[in-house]
Structure 1
Amino acid sequence: MPGEFGRRELLTGAAAAAAGVALAGLTPAQAVATGEGVTKFAFPTGGDRLRVLVTGDAGTGTRTQWAVAEAARALHRTDPFGIAVGLGDNIYENGPNGTTDPQFAEKFENPNTGLDIPWVMVLGNHDTSSILPGDGGWLLRGDDEVRYHGTSSRWWMPSRYYSVRLPDPDPIVEFFVLDLNPLAAYIPPVFSPYWSVDGQFMNEQRAWLDTAVADSPAAWKIVCTHHPYLNNGPHGDAGRYEGLPIEPINGVHVQRFFEEHVLGRAHLILSGHDHSLQVLEPAPTSKGTQQIVSGAAAKTIGATPRTLPADAHPALFQTYHQLGFLTLDLTPGSIEAAVHTVDPGTAVPVEEFRRRIA
């Protein structure tokens, strides 16, 4: 079934439990089960086409989020999506306070009414805030969003990192959802070995990803993260986030993770974090892995077009002052991407870009 976890991960979890280890990271081995009385919206089964809605940085509960969701609903009514992907910052500005926090309704369930499909969700830095909004300094806070998986029909986040193969049993695509917040936090977890760069959580995630990608039978392998590898927006590339030369908050460990475990193995990286819409051209240094940013589902960088730096990455499409989202149409032989911008006053989607990218 989609999201099914392998015997190796289950045995790892069982061994850790027997040893009395508290695995706070909620890995695939500790996947949260659906609660009694909760019926999940079903993943697509069969067929040779999968239509995907890709949003990011949506969780504001504001009229802009509602406008983008209404535009997505309009497309869903005419050509239904099989799933949606939410690329993090699901609950602005600081993340939830427990699984019964009303913010889940205000900033996810209510705006997305009518988009009654599984939402494959990613943890973002605002979902794990501590002192300052978005500092990523309270990593355990993300576990509230994982546990919410057990109570919601549409929210799909059974663990902090996981994969979903679609459709089942002959997958066109496998989505690999990652949690790189321990590597990208503005308040690095220097006093918590479990979350450290080479700590248990990240090492288990690296090993899991390497095996899961290598074993995947899907035609397309897509990595979903909050933090991008390449990015023409103000947050910048991994390794120079925010233009900072200071390690590790410049994202150098995120850069190394991508370069060692993702590039050349996945076809696409889908990320949010930057409040923009970018379909970047494949870079030679990326070994054929293409970066897409979809983080404008509630916020934008500015009200006017942005002047790009001289060293900006070549892009097939990019906008920094428009709300919107991305759609993917996947078949066994192709990936077609489209960018839809949204006017917050009318909530009407406008297709600005469409191209076969693979």
Structure 2
Amino acid sequence: MTEFDGIDRRRFLAGAAAAGAAVPLAALTPALAGAAAAPATTDKFAFPTGSTLRVLVTGDAGTGTPAQWAVADAIRDLHRREPLSMALGLGDNIYELGPNGDQDVQFTTKFEDPNRGLDFPWVMALGNHDTSSIFPGDGGWLLRGNDEVDYHRRSKRWWMPSRYYSVRVPEKNPIVEFFVLDLNPLAAYLPPLLAPYWAPDGQFMNEQRAWLDAAISSSTAKWKVACTHHPYLNNGSHGDAGAYDGIPLEPMNGVHAKRFFEDHVVGRCQFILSGHDHSLQILEPTVASKGTRQIVSGAAAKDSHGKAGPEVNRRSLFQNFTDVGFMVMDLASDSVTARVYTVDVATSKATVAFERRLV
């Protein structure tokens, strides 16, 4: 979102920051606890075991609107013709404020119902709208994300055993390992000023850093893919980490997210897959990204109305700021191919807008 009740988000957030974030301090202090790994109490759809994978890449889907249904219908049509192995959900799973408990009906209306028939594992990441407090997307109630971890127990599709985790596919001799990250504490528009647990150098993030370093180092997968809601590089209106939404003040500009990417992800994973920006982008690696390619797929229910960011001219293989849609990645031991689909909301018809082997 770029507007909230007619107020431009950038102006609102910059003004709130300059005024010391004029919201109740209690809203900035969630309980000092993270979600433990959630065992499933229902049968889950099985992860693929073959030597090739066809992975749906989708983000910012959870609106329950006709646009989400149109994209899901297009995905169903593709799945009938070219079966998908699994999906990646890159955050903002429950618009606009996130769920209220793991039995919230929004899990049905904004995830299960639209995705009927897409019966494979959906590897899910947390987004800023999943952890809202005062206004949509503020990221100010980080503990709310635990409701989505708890929902892992209830759904055959939804895979989120913890706030951050990895999935190796196939489990033995993996082709790919997806490292699903929770960078919301580093990029919240309402930062957790009075909650040391969630601080940029607090327990949650330090444990996540240590886990990620060890997990990447020990991974035997050919392809290593970081899955985040917030992008590192982004030609869209939300901007790059360190300059999110044009906000000049730390930490709301995502400077800590930028440092996280540069210290722990770039040069170590071949891809960063993110949502947040309601666009479809396949960017070229940069010197700063050390060969890691940023992909943004956050248009599964909203588009950017043509709005691009200040880095719109950064080199890309593809970028679209006007359409809803999704991506598919085909992974084999020796190649990765990406396809981008745009979707006409009125007809649910998908069009292949881009297809290319990336590696």
* TM-score, with length taken from structure 1: 0.90
Are 1:324 and 2:325 counterparts? yes
Task: Name the CA shift for 1:192/1:308 in 2 (closer, same or farther; >3 Å).
Answer: closer
Q: Which residue number corresponds to residue 60 of structure 2?
A: 57
- Cα offset, 1:311, TM superposition: 6.1
1:251 maps onto 2:257 in alignment: no
* Equivalent in the alignment of 1:265: 268
**Residue number among 131, 140, 158 corresponding to 2:161 in the alignment:** 158
Alignment of 1:244-323 (within 5 A): 244-302=247-305, 305-306=306-307, 309=310, 312-323=313-324
1:86 paired residue number: 89
User: What's 1:69 paired with?
Assistant: 72
| DSSP 3-state at the match of 2:288 | helix
Indicate conservation of the 8 Å contact 2:57/2:329, yes or no.
Answer: yes
8 Å contact from structure 2 (residues 235, 308) kept in 1:
no
Q: Counterpart of 1:4?
A: none
Closer, same or farther in 2 for the Cα pair 1:329/1:121, shift >3 Å? same
Change in 2 beyond 3 A, CA 1:308/1:203: closer
Amino acid at match of 1:31: A
Structure-1 residue corresponding to 2:149: 146
Q: CA deviation at 1:310?
A: 6.4
Matches within 5 A, 1:123-142: 123-142=126-145
Q: Secondary structure at the match of 1:286?
A: coil
1:343 aligns with 2:344: yes
| Superimposed CA distance per residue, residues 186-245 of structure 1 (whole angstroms, 9 cap, x where no aligned partner) | 010110000001000000000000000010000000000000000011100000001111
RMSD of equivalent CA atoms: 1.2
Summarize deviations over 1:136-157 as a string: whole Å, max 9, x none: 0000000000000000000000
Q: Which residue of 2 aligns with 1:32?
A: 38
Whole-Å Cα distance in 1 between the matches of residues 312 and 238 of structure 2? 14
Counterparts in 2 of 1:230 and 1:307: CA distance versus 1, 3 Å:
closer
CA shift, 1:167, in A, is 1.1
Pair 1:97–1:57, CA change in 2 (3 A): same
* Pairing 1:239–2:248 present: no
Aligned equivalents of 2:32 and 2:78: distance in 1? 41
Distance (Å, rounded) in 1 between the aligned partners of 2:332 and 2:89? 21
| Number of aligned residue pairs | 329
Distance 1:77 1:221, change over 3 A: same
SS of 1:285's partner is: coil
TM-score (norm 2): 0.90
Of 157, 163, 179 in structure 2, the residue corresponding to residue 176 of structure 1 is 179
For residue 24 of structure 1, report the CA deviation from its aligned partner.
2.1
Q: Deviations over 1:77-99 (max 9, x none)?
A: 11111100000000000000001
* Aligned-partner Cα distance in 2 for 1:171–1:258: 24
Match of 1:43 in 2: 47
